[in-house]
Amino acid sequence: MEKFTVYAPFFGIASLLIAYLIYSYVKRQPNGNELMQELEEMIHIGAMTFLKREYTALLFFIAAVFILLGLLLHEWRTSVAFVTGAFCSMAAGFSGMTAATRGNSRTAEAANKHGQAAALNVSYFSGSVMGLAVAGLAVLGLGFWFWVYGKSPETARYINGFAMGASSIALFARVAGGIYTKAADVGADLVGKVEAGIPEDDPRNPGVIADNVGDNVGDIAGMGADIFESFVGSVVATIAIGAT
């Protein structure tokens, strides 16, 4: 079975390719009338703006840890693996966010025109993009470094950097996303239900857009990075046990 580890990166690439094909299928679905498209675009732009600001700040953290591991601890192999793990985690969150914000209006349009089954189909495919991206990036990254560093006991130490990068991004993405999510939720509810006396998620409340952006930020981008970190951590733990 050990000889099959060299094929791991190719399985990762195949998973990413399937995720891209599914995303293309979702994008081809009708996204409703002009108002639905406008709301979709506002949520998408808001979510991507947050993600851009968050990832820009995280670049400084990634650079600092890279320098610390490489220059001070002289663990260059671990530091390079750390950077790739961090970027793969960011890519997992980005892919899920993109698919979700593009799939929301298409799911609503499918429900409106064709019923519950069609809506479930579109929403399921939208969600599967992040699932396949998470698995594909993890298998691709781990398989690549396992192939590069070889099968020596030292490999486990180097690949730990990949898991560390994934965990670092998951920590910040989950916490930062959660803070934004709850802040937007509470703000929208206070303005809408308490001050204006309108129901929750009412289209007359502009804060609902921020609330929906927060749901995507915390429950999709943050969750994607979290799942990626958990998957990578379980594989790296298995490698570490096997190396001892």
Q: Kindly report the pTM of this predicted structure.
A: 0.90
List Cβ neighbours of 77 (8 Å cut-off, separation of 6 or more): 149, 158, 161
Q: What are the φ/ψ torsions at residue 33 (nearest 5 degrees)? A: -80, -175
Distance CA 188, CA 105 (A): 21
Among candidate residues 239, 228, 236, the one with its CA nearest the CA of residue 95: 228
How buried is residue 152: exposed, middle or buried, by Cβ count under 10 Å (0-12/13-18/19+)?
Answer: exposed
From first to last of its 244 residues, the chain has per-residue pLDDT tens of 567 778 889 999 999 999 999 999 999 999 989 989 998 999 999 999 999 999 999 999 999 999 999 888 888 999 999 999 999 999 999 999 999 999 999 999 999 999 999 999 999 999 999 999 999 999 999 999 988 887 777 888 889 999 999 999 999 998 888 888 888 878 777 777 777 677 777 777 777 888 888 888 888 888 899 999 999 999 999 888 887 7
Show the domain range for 55.
2-243
Domain count, the chain: 1
